Structure 1
Amino acid sequence: MVESKTRREAIEEGRSLLQKLGFNGFSFQDIANRIGIKKPSLYAHFASKEELGLEMIAHYRHDFERWAEKHKNDPIIDQIEGLFRIFSKFARDQNKFCPLTVLSAEFQTLPISMRKALTDMTRFQEAWLVDLIQKGIRAGHFRTDLDPLQTAHIIQSLGFGVQHLARLHQDTDRILSMQAQIRNLLEVRP
């Protein structure tokens, strides 16, 4: 199915507002104002804000999958560090958060369908990290004493947390500084 221009614009504006204000921080009216249509017109494209939220999560997953595919032949450590470059890019764009980070902060207030989609997406990202960590261990690049799943959790937690600290302290460089810490955590030391 080909998305209409209005639907695409609504998803893009919704995602921008989500990344700056959170899911509960904007309304359909805000999106309508930004794309220059009347609020009832949005209902021709989305039955509810929940449906829009699900679309935003699906679009972010698609974007992440495309990014991961594009970088799959990069060195493993570069792929993992790339996650933090994505976070930094968001932060440098009007102090935005990764969609997963902002939605996870609002998890309890989200509709159940969005909670499930968010959980599925974070598990997908977790599995991607676990796979990379396992490959790094097998290749002899990463420490053999690492538990891949627990290490993936540490990396995700660092990513989510450092975005909040970067916003709080108005210091986006904090995000990229985590790359060195990830390297120290993972790599075999002579």
Structure 2
Amino acid sequence: MDPKNDTKTRAIDLGRHYLQTLGFNGFSFQKIADELGIKKASLHYYFASKEDMGLALLKDYEEAYERWTTKVSPLSAEKKLEQMLNVFCKMGLDHKKICPAGVLCADFNTLPNNMKKRLIEFHHIQRQWMIDTLKQGVQEKSLRKDLSIEATADLFLTSIQGGLQVARLRGDMESFKKMIRLLIKNIST
């Protein structure tokens, strides 16, 4: 592996970790450089600014999300929702991380405009997947046909985001799992 790419990859990995545990405003270029054992100026070789790193993180999350949605695409809607629950549970159990979109929403007013725009685009991608999954569930007759699909998609996404943050606060992932499973049960036939 090219050492330059390895350093960049490691910087992204650290940025992802710090973003999900400390928030975008909770870490600095200096913290990343120190962890990598390089000078802060050397980090600028890979990212012109923290905003550029933030945009790279958003791109990385979006690509990972696309890979995940492709992987679960053959599943039933109920299985997709269960898989999403599993992803969020694993996230919460890993150093009490929360969803990057949730972190960035909390930091939204302090984000650079390019990051705000990219975050909104990423949210719309997630929301559309949820809408499509709920429609699939209605067609499969596993989800209630009287659902307001868009409102239910928003409810589901906000429940996952907020629920993971409350689970972090309480140190209790089991309550998060129960809450999301109850939501799935309430929309199921």
TM-score, scaled relative to structure 2: 0.95
- Residues 32-88 of structure 1: CA distance to partner in whole angstroms, max 9, x if unpaired? 111111110010010100000011011011111101111111221121122221111
- Residues 120-166 of structure 1: CA distance to partner in whole angstroms, max 9, x if unpaired? 11110000010011111112111111111111000001011101110
Percent of residue pairs identical? 36
Match of 1:42 in 2: 43
Tell me, what secondary structure is at the counterpart of 1:74? coil
Counterparts of 1:6-155 in structure 2, within 5 Å, are 6-155=7-156
Paired residues in the alignment total 187
CA contact (8 A) 1:22 1:106 kept: yes
Match of 2:5 in 1: 4
CA contact (8 A) 1:81 1:182 kept: no
- Residues 4-51 of structure 1: CA distance to partner in whole angstroms, max 9, x if unpaired? 111111111011001010000000000011111111001001010000
Distance 2:114 2:64 in 1: 20
- 5+ residue gaps, structure 2: none
Tell me, what secondary structure is at the counterpart of 2:146? coil
Give the alignment's Cα RMSD to 1 decimal.
1.3
Distance 2:179 2:64 in 1: 23
Distance 1:153 1:15 in 2: 25
CA change 1:86–1:65 in 2 (3 A) is same
Distance 2:174 2:49 in 1: 37
- 5+ residue gaps, structure 1: none
Distance 1:179 1:73 in 2: 22
TM-score, scaled relative to structure 1: 0.94
CA contact (8 A) 1:28 1:49 kept: yes
Divergent runs of 4+, >3 A: none
**Cα shift at 1:91:** 1.1
**Cα shift at 1:179:** 3.3
Distance 1:16 1:161 in 2: 19
